[in-house]
Structure 1
Amino acid sequence: MKIYSNSAVPSIELVNSFESREIVCAFHDIDGTHSLIRDWVPVMTLTTGYTARYGLPPDDLEKAVPLVMSKEQEEFASAHDFSIESAGLSALTQMEWAIRCGIQNGVISHCGVDRQINQQIIDGIWSGRETFPEIHEDPALVSWIQEKSSNLFRIYEKILLLMSRDRNLADARIHPEKWRVPGSLAFLQFLHEHGIRNYFVTGAVVDILPSGGYAGTMFEEVDALGYKFGQGELLDGLEGSSWNQKLPKVDIMRNLAQKLDIPPRNILFVGDGRSEIDAGQSMGGITISRLPANAHRAREIHQKLKTNFILQEYNLEDIRKIFR
C-alpha cells in the first residue's frame, strides 16, 4: 500500500511533502501515541527537578522515593520545560541531564568534571542529542554517571507507578477504550489488513522471556489496552530499552530495520516524541506525529524536525485518504 502527500484531508495536517512510496512496515511509539496510561511529565519534572536542585537521592528505593515525592508541590520550571523538549529520548539520557545539571548547580560533585564540557552536554541533550562521540571525558566520570543514571531511572519508574500509572492501569483493565488514543486500534487494524507489519518501539524497559514473550511495566500496559503480538495479530513485535544501557530510539529503529531487511524509506514512523520523528526523518522514512491540539511546543519541535503529517487522533476515514 502506498502513502501520498495529500494536503486536502480535514484532520491531518501535511507539514512536509514527499514522494509517494510503498509502506511495508510501521514503527510506532507507544506512550502518548497509542496509550494514555502514563502521565509521565509530572513525574519526570519532579525526578529531574529534584536532582538538579537538591542532588542525587539515595540509591535505596525505599529511602529515595518518599524523599523525592516530598517535593511534589514545588515548582521545577526548567525541569518541566526539559520534559517537553526531551519527550521520546532514552530515560537514561533524561536522568543524565538531571545529574549533569546538579553538577553544574554545585549540588552534586565528582572529581574530573570539566564544567565547560558538562554544560556542552547539558545543552546538547536539551536539543535532542543522546550521544557525544566527539567529547572525551574521564572514563571514571562517565561510568559513574551511567551508574547513577540507572539508579535514578529506577527511582523515576517507581514514583511513576505510585503517582498515577498503577491507578490508571487498573482502570484500563476495566475500560481500555478510555486509555487508548481515539482510533488507535482501528488505525493499527487498517495497516495490518493491508499487509503492513506493525511494531511497537518504546524507550521503556521491555524484558524478553525465555519463551519469547514479553514482560515489564510497558508490556502490562499495552496488554491491558488489548494490543496483541504474534503471527496474525495486529502487532508483530515489541522493542524496548534497558535499565543500564542507553539505547537511543534511532539505534533501536535502525537495528530493527536491518534485522527485518526493510529499506527505511518504506517504513512509516508514528510518534509524539522528538526522537522517533527525528529517527524517521534521518533514516529517510515517512513520519506521522500524533499530537494533541494544545501541545504547542511539541508542534513547533515536530515542524522543525520536518515531520510529514501531524494529526490529533486516528480518524480512519481521513487516514484512508493518504493511502492507496
Structure 2
Amino acid sequence: MNKVLVTGSKGQVGSELNGLASEYPYDFFFTERDSLDITNEQSIKDFIEIHNIDIIINCAAYTAVDIAESQKDLADAINHKAVKSLAQISKEKNIKLIHISTDYVFNGQNYRPYIETDATDPNSVYGSTKLDGEKALQEINPKNSIIIRTSWVYSSFGSNFVKTMLRLGNERDELGVIYDQVGSPTYARDLAKTILEIVPKLQNQNVEVYHYSNEGVLSWYDFAKEIMKMAKKECNINPIETKDHPTPASRPHYSLLNKSKIKQEFNIKIPFWKDSLDACLKVLGERK
C-alpha cells in the first residue's frame, strides 16, 4: 500500500483529505507544523525515510495574504524554500509530489480564463513566494510531480469567505462586498477528491501545471448573495468596489482559471460552484 504524506493537514484541503482518507487505498500520514517542520530539510528527510513515503501532497502554505506583506521571510520559508526542499527530496527518493499553488501568481488583468502557460506576474508577497515555490519545483523537476493552481478556496474547516459570510449574516443587517473581483470559488473537498483520483494516474517526466476550481464565474458579491440566499440569512448585500475596501496586499481583479487541461488529461468532471456551495452548507448545517 502506497504511503502518503500530507503536509498542512489542518488547513482546508488537508482537512478534506483527512476526511476522505478512509475511502482510498493509501496509508496516510497527516502532519502539521508541530509534527513536521517542512522548513527544516533534515526533518523532512528523516520523516520520509522512517515512514517510507511514496507520495507527498503538499497542502502547507503561508496564506495570510495581507500579513505576508510585512512577513516576507516567513512566507518565503514556507511557500518557496520548503517547496524546494520537498522537490529535492522527491527527486532523490523517486517520490510523487503534488503541490498546491494559487491564482495569485497572475496579475489578474486578463480578459479570458488563465491557461497554465500564461505569463505569471504576481502583485503581492504571497503571490511572489508561491510563484518562487513553483519555479523551484519545476527547476528541480522530480518526475511524476505536478502543481495544481486553485482559487477562492473554502470548506467546512478553518477560516474562509463562506464561514465569514455566515457569521456576519447572523450579526449584521447588511454588508458591503466587492463586486469588481471576478473568479470561481473552489470547494476544498472537490479539490481533495480530484487529487486522490489523479495520484495513481501521474506518469510525467517533467513537472506539469494544472488549474482547478469549481465551474462557473462570479464576483465576491455574487458569492455572498448566494450564501445568504441558500442559508436564508436576513442580511442585505451591497456591492462595493475594491478601492472602497483597501488592503495591504493587492488582489487579482480577474482570477478565472481554465480547467480544460486537468479535465481532459484525467477525464474528471468538475462540479458547478452552486452545487458545491450547497454541499458545503449542508455539511455546516446551514442549508435552509
TM-score (norm 1): 0.27
Higher RCO structure, 1 or 2 (CA under 8 Å, sep 6+):
1
Q: From the CA coordinates, give the structure whose radius of gyration is larger.
A: 1
- The structure whose residues are more often helix, as a share, is 1
